[in-house]
Amino acid sequence: MPKIIEQFRVLIYSGDFDAQIPHTGTEEWTRGLGYNESASWHPWYVGAEGASSVAGYAVEYDVPTEFTFLTVKAAGHMVPTFKPAEALAMVTRFVRGEPY
């Protein structure tokens, strides 16, 4: 995984209600890769300016490209099924290179 992370932008995400693969395990795995954080845990938002709500939380790691782990609040294993607006916002920001 480190060779991929150091060459390509990578987004790892988990629903925080995922009972199959809990986000805590994914967080432990991403943290265990040993990269320094460039942005510690912070909320990310979805919605119109002034009416946005917390969609989850993100941590970004200091790598030559981009490596982010984020959670999607109240989403289960199939994030787009549980939280379609948040999933679309998450993927759109990743494709556009926009911050969380």
pTM of the full predicted structure?
A: 0.90
Neighbours of 32 (CB within 10 A): 8
Distance from C-alpha of 100 to C-alpha of 84, rounded to nearest angstrom: 17
Q: pLDDT band for position 24 (50/70/90)?
A: very high
Strands 67-72 and 53-61: antiparallel
| pLDDT tens digits for range 30-86 | 999 999 999 999 999 998 766 689 999 999 999 999 999 999 999 999 999 999 999
